[in-house]
């Protein structure tokens, strides 16, 4: 009598744009307010909606970086940051953290007023579309000669 057996087959299918869920509406915002109390400086906070419906929460350990000056800082445990002694003029500011989309904004600092900067970042899933694929594993009956 011949005996058959089960074996497992695996198939990996890369994801396409059609497999990805629709992109959520942007929650990104930026609010710039002149601050005459701190000339040549920038301070503010960074927030994001980390869970749907939870509202905006402060994000710690976000890098706030002035690219043209090669100067930066990180947010504290309540999402606040501060950079002093910035030269007057227009500067490009990047806010970035793993798990969130990097944001680039232009600010202008004058001799008489600094900037209060409030930024919201959009979460970017590390294991979501379009980086992954679908792994299908199934048990299949096979005869020994197949």
Q: What's the mean pLDDT in 2-7? A: 63
Residues 111-144 have pLDDT tens digits of 888 888 999 888 876 555 544 555 566 766 666 6
Question: Who has greater pLDDT, 51 or 117?
Answer: 117
Residue 48's domain comprises: 24-127
Rounded CA-CA distance 47/88 in Å is 26
For residue 66, the model assigns a pLDDT of 95
Residue 82 falls within a domain, yes or no? yes
For residue 130, the model assigns a pLDDT of 46
**In 15-110, beta strands by DSSP E:** 29-35, 42-48, 57-58, 63-66, 71-74, 80-83, 89-96, 103-109
Number of structural domains in the chain: 1
| Average confidence score pLDDT of the chain | 78
Rounded CA-CA distance 35/108 in Å is 12
Residue 83 falls within a domain, yes or no? yes
Residue 18 falls within a domain, yes or no? no
Residue 103 falls within a domain, yes or no? yes
């Amino acid at each position: 009598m011949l005996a058959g057996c089960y074996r497992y087959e695996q198939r990996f299918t890369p994801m396409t744009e059609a497999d990805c869920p629709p992109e959520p509406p942007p929650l990104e915002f930026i609010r710039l307010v002149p601050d005459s109390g701190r000339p040549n400086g920038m301070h503010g906070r960074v927030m994001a909606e980390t869970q749907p419906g939870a509202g905006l929460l402060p994000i710690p350990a976000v890098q706030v970086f002035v690219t043209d000056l090669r100067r930066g800082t990180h947010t504290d445990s309540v999402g606040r940051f501060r950079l002093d002694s910035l030269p007057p003029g227009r500067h490009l500011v990047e806010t970035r953290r793993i798990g969130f989309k990097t944001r680039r904004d232009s600010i202008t600092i004058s001799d008489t007023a600094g900037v209060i900067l409030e930024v919201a970042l959009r979460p970017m899933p590390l294991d979501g579309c379009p980086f992954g694929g679908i792994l299908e594993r199934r048990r299949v009956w096979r005869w020994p000669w197949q």
